[in-house]
Amino acid sequence: MSDNDRYAMLIGVSTYESERYHDLPAVRADLHYMQAVLESTEIGMYNDCAMVPEPTRAEMLHAIETYLEERQPSETALLYFSGHGEFCETDGQLYFLTRDTDPDDLPGTAVAAESLERMLKSCRASSKVVLLDCCSSGSVVQGWTSKGAGDTNARPAPSTLLHPTGVYFITASDALQAASAMAPAGSTLGTSRFTGEIVEGLRSGRIKDSGWITPDDLFEYLTAQMVRSGVPQEQRPTKSTIRAMHSLPLARSVARSINLPAPPRDAAGAAQPAALLKARALAELDARDGIDSQQLLRYYVHCLSAQAASGMLPDRDSGRGKAYFLLSQGSESIQSGLGPTLPAPPQLPKAKSGGTQADGVGLQEYWYGYPAITLPERGGDGRRRAAVRIAPLLIQSMELAPDEEGRDRLRPNGVPSLHTGLVTELLADDDAADLLARWQPT
């Protein structure tokens, strides 16, 4: 293993502006000692541990996004969070609370687990590990939906909202339980129990006799320690390993106990970490410009991907069989995933050939849409029916290719997106931009 392919980002929130959230002094020790074991040349040997203490929502989002975007396929990316987590009954979502979180507006002032999952999915690192030391953190991997208002005793049903594939998650507690804040027995580090067990296990060599420690090794050790200490089942760690690497090296086992440096006495006067300063600068730019850069970027992507289809609002009657074609009857199969292809209509124009294709000029494009929406034309003289246009709400790029028997089939070669022309036709500019920027295929 090379010494420059392992990176970590450690995020912790110990103080909160809202009086409804109590401070978590142990978080400061959590961050310090996690950094100490990961950067230790005898234990973690991580090239860099980016520190993000006490971030706002905007700073935390920018920090995570920047960190994950910088990762390369040959690298390991570890992400750690310590602080309050809150499960929102309204939308069935786990939120990581930041310094400026408003308890009455979690979606607008806290970081949603769904946002974290989306950023992790786009990260190119071949190995990704997430450690969550917060209450209700198990909901990320167990995916519980909120309880109904009239059902106060029943446990929530599983949700399919989050599928953290390709990432090894270890969380401090069950889906809807508070994480144990007590430090491990015999520990004098001042950390929370979950983080303290990780730190004590790594620095003492108790997790494994020798060699590299994997996430599986760590999870089994944490579970055993919690059982030995009598921690209730619902407050023990949980994990998700869907298509994750089980054998990735997390840290080295040590033959003797390693002494870790104590936290600095004047932590308040220490220089701000570079990762936090960078995230703060990006957040300040957003605030100054009055824009959400990520929302704007997604809006541009949607506009570009649907540009060719944005003008596709054909006349419902005269355009049939020319500007648009009705496909098979019955249940929709492409966007629902029920079928991989569709038979091409006999009169569908074939792909053009010729020298201009190298430049993309003259290429035949195919777009599939569902469901269809009719749009009456404005005006009309009252004596005859105004022309009615038709357009799909969702569009998806398709390709035309023969099957094994030589019959033309249409198969998707992209993901569904909103029909830009339709959305901008029906909604005001600001509402259209907001919808196009926030919409994500599921």
* End-to-end Cα separation, the chain, in angstroms: 37
pTM: 0.62
Question: How confident is the model at residue 137, as a pLDDT?
Answer: 55
- Express each pLDDT in 314-329 by its tens digit: 777 777 877 788 876 6
Asked which of 66-80, 173-187, 190-204 is least confident by mean pLDDT, the reply is 173-187
* CA–CA distance, 36 with 31 (Å, rounded to integer): 9
Q: What's the average model confidence in pLDDT over 176-196?
A: 67
Q: Which residue has the higher pLDDT, 241 or 296?
A: 241
- Express each pLDDT in 211-226 by its tens digit: 999 999 999 999 999 8
pLDDT at 149 > cutoff 50: no
Residue percentage of the chain with pLDDT more than 90? 33
Contacting residues for 367 by C-beta, under 8 A, at least 6 apart:
308, 309, 312, 395, 396, 397, 398
* CA–CA distance, 238 with 218 (Å, rounded to integer): 12
> For 426, which DSSP code?
H
Longest dimension (CA), the chain: 93
Could you give the 3-state DSSP secondary structure of residue 376?
strand
Q: Are strands 6-12 and 76-82 parallel, antiparallel or unpaired?
A: parallel
Where do the domains of the chain lie?
A: 6-290, 297-438
Nearest C-alpha neighbor of 137 from the set 181, 197, 177: 177
CATH class of 6-290: alpha beta
Instruction: List the Cα angle 48/189/97 in 5-degree steps.
Output: 65
Q: What's the pLDDT band for 366 if we cut at 50, 70, 90?
A: confident
- 107: which 2 tokens? 């979606």
H or E stretch covering 50: strand 48-53
Q: What's the pLDDT band for 32 if we cut at 50, 70, 90?
A: very high
Could you give the 3-state DSSP secondary structure of residue 203?
helix
* CA–CA distance, 59 with 281 (Å, rounded to integer): 8
> For 265, which DSSP code?
T
Strand partners, 9: 50, 79
Q: Taking the alpha carbons of 42, 202, 170, 35 in that order, is the dihedral positive or negative? A: negative
Question: How confident is the model at residue 97, as a pLDDT?
Answer: 95
Nearest C-alpha neighbor of 66 from the set 82, 48, 84: 48
